[in-house]
Amino acid sequence: MNYIPGIKKIRELSHMTPLPARLNIVLFDWDGTLSDTAADGLEAFQKTFADLGCPVSRETYERIYSPNWYLMYETLALPREVWPKADELWLRHYGHRLPHLVDGAAEVIHELERRGYRFGVVSSGTCSRVYREIEILGLRESFEAVICNESIRHKKPHPEGLLQAMARMHCQSHSCCYIGDSPEDIRMGRNAGVFTVGVLSGYPTSCHLAAEKPDLCLESIQQLLDHFRGGSAEGTAASTPAWPGLG
């Protein structure tokens, strides 16, 4: 995991609730939770605002960070008519970098799949980027639903993204959990009525996870294997992945 300097690693993670007996659907956040994008995201953001004539220091970025980047635009007083340009610049600076998963994530996905869990992704990221990264990482067949920024009207912590994923996977909240690395992820999961899991990452708000009191709070993605012992036999059968490919 690439930690951004200034983020304290939390070792005292309290508050743990037993997993619901019928839980067999695991919905993941993407950036920071599965994909190790923290350092690249910071670099792209700084280059974007430098191009816009509004340099942003690392300290400012850490202070204002939100997975809903439009809140960051508002905090930086970026005129709304410039937001599409900022989005375009960010994607250009982020570029077609080769994605990589956080340490242990590939093994966790494959083992949880073997144990009978079904997966989806609910991300604030741009569809084209997230789809591309999932494809390159060879995980297309693992995720039955992938919900990204353009798929929803309401951003985190509104539950719309999770509700869409559950509808596509034909499942109910009692059989689902959402795993994320930001307080907004935990609030979204709570708003959707699902079991919430916080996992530390290199993103600035990750250090506030424990304060949100997720049902389960972990220091690393690998620790999921200690708690997710096997998917329930109850619920619907796995559906065929039905999210757009790269075209």
- Residues 80 and 181 occupy one common structural domain: no
- Residues 63 and 106 occupy one common structural domain: no
- Residues 153, 154, 160, CA angle at the centre, nearest 5°? 100
Domain ranges, residue 188? 25-36+100-227
What does DSSP say about strands 118-122 and 25-28: parallel, antiparallel, or unpaired? parallel
What is the model's pLDDT at position 242?
57
- Residues 104 and 84 occupy one common structural domain: no
**Residues contacting residue 53 through CB under 8 Å, at least 6 positions apart:** none
- Percentage with pLDDT > 90 across the chain: 81
Q: What is the pTM of this model?
A: 0.88
Q: How far apart are CA 155 and CA 175, in angstroms?
A: 23
If you average pLDDT over residues 191-211, what whole number do you get? 95
Mean of pLDDT over the chain:
90
Report the domain count for the chain: 2
If you average pLDDT over residues 191-214, what whole number do you get? 95
Tens-place pLDDT, residues 119-160: 999 999 999 999 999 999 999 999 999 999 999 999 999 999
- Does the pLDDT at position 88 exceed 60? yes
If you average pLDDT over residues 59-64, what whole number do you get? 96
What is the model's pLDDT at position 7?
43
- Residues 121 and 206 occupy one common structural domain: yes
What is the model's pLDDT at position 86?
97
What is the model's pLDDT at position 238?
62
- Residues 31 and 121 occupy one common structural domain: yes
Q: How far apart are CA 71 and CA 212, in angstroms?
A: 19
* Domain C-terminal end among 56, 71, 94: 94
- Residues 147 and 214 occupy one common structural domain: yes
- Residues 211 and 139 occupy one common structural domain: yes
